[in-house]
Amino acid sequence: MMLSKTGASIGPILFPFTGMGVGGSHISTFHLARALGTRHRIRCVIVAAADSQVAKCAAEMGLEVLPTADVPAKRRDVLADVLKLPKRVLMLRSYGAGAIVHCSDLWTLQAWGSAAKVLRRRVVYHHRAILDMSMLDRRILQLAHSVISISEPCRRNLSFLREEEIDSITNPFPEPALSAGSGWRAEFKRVWGVGEPVLLVGFVGNLQHRKRPGFFLDVCSNIAQALPNARFVIFGSDRDESNADLKRKADGLGIGDRIVLPGFRSPSEMNFATLDLLIAPALGEPFGRTLVEALLLGVPYVATDDAGHSEIARRWAGGRLVARDATPEQFAEVALQVLVNPKDTALPDEVRRKIADELSPVRHADRVLAIYKRIQAIS
């Protein structure tokens, strides 16, 4: 347990999640928790439903997991949170007065921030989404002693708060191997059994409507007409759409024999290091881990010029942006320009190393720890 400058204890840090699946917010939280533990010896606990992907992924990353008997939530349920409040209060009390509850979404803040309030424990809310921010959302936000925003679009989404009430901290990214994984790429060459060099174009992300995996296939259809040696891959877990849905669409577009859908695989480098080009057509991306993970590996991207994607491209480059109202044909045109010589768009090694240092989990943990110390010092 660490002490703040005022002598107040810090930790353990509880990171609760109420849902089933794993996304960018979970991965960012896991990297933060690991860095807090290894660098600052602060105990971190991931709280999640026992049978959720969240609990499984956290355990695989070597994190302490408190499995709960809760059924993974599919929607915000005020009544269920009221009924579970006594049990959550009892659990939270067992971690002592120095415990901090660090929430990454409003569902969790509603569920666990209330328990923390009963015990007068400190609460951090990590704003990782672009939301309508209803009056209920704003009321729930009042449970937090600190609000962290991951990007400029997310900060603008909190415009009803005073500037001094928000800390802006970019998501953490562990430095990947800075060379592509030839073994992982060879795996895909075996899938198609082609002797000629293959250009591999990919999509990485959960299959949500706003990420537009179907639009990705429309772009691929256009690329396929221009490049006979182009092949396509979708790394993503079922959400609003399923891999089966997308395979049927690919068959209908006539590219079913040129695409594979292996689902999401960990570590993430396995997905990106195989690619010649990442296509990210998502709209309203709060930040966009995929672009950063790609550029750190030297994989160029073509992405929608919107929200977090725009911020990433402006700060670090490494890819090309396409207007948010671009057609699949226009998206494909830019992709084809990049594929002529991907190295002209990808970042050189020395630039990637500087970015990796800037975004390291250690730096991220240092900044978050300063917030923990600040709120624990509040009388």
CA distance 327 to 82: 47
Q: How far is CA 336 from the centre of its chain?
A: 27
H-type helices in 102-181, by residue range?
106-119, 135-141, 152-156
Query: Within a domain: residue 177?
Result: no
pLDDT score recorded for residue 3: 61
pLDDT score recorded for residue 48: 97
Higher pLDDT, 49 or 188: 49
35 and 132, same domain (yes or no): yes
Query: Within a domain: residue 277?
Result: yes
Kindly report, residue by residue over 80-123, the tens digit of the pLDDT.
999 999 999 999 999 999 999 999 999 999 999 999 999 999 99
pLDDT score recorded for residue 295: 95
Secondary structure E strands in 210-287: 230-235, 259-260, 277-280
Query: Within a domain: residue 8?
Result: yes
CA distance 58 to 253: 38
157 and 240, same domain (yes or no): no
CA distance 181 to 272: 9
pLDDT score recorded for residue 6: 46
16 and 156, same domain (yes or no): yes
> The domain that contains 93 carries what CATH number?
3.40.50.2000
31 and 48, same domain (yes or no): yes
Kindly report, residue by residue over 196-254, the tens digit of the pLDDT.
678 999 999 999 999 999 999 999 999 999 999 999 999 999 999 999 999 999 999 99
Query: Within a domain: residue 108?
Result: yes
Question: Structural domain tally of the chain?
Answer: 2
Residue 268 clears pLDDT 80, i.e. is over it: no
**Host domain of residue 205:** 182-357
pLDDT score recorded for residue 187: 72
- Reduced to 3 states (helix: H, G, I; strand: E, B; else coil), residue 32 is helix
Within a 10 A sphere around the Cβ of 206, how many other Cβ atoms? Answer: 19
142 and 276, same domain (yes or no): no
| 215 contact partners, CB below 8 Å, separation of at least 6 | 281, 328, 331
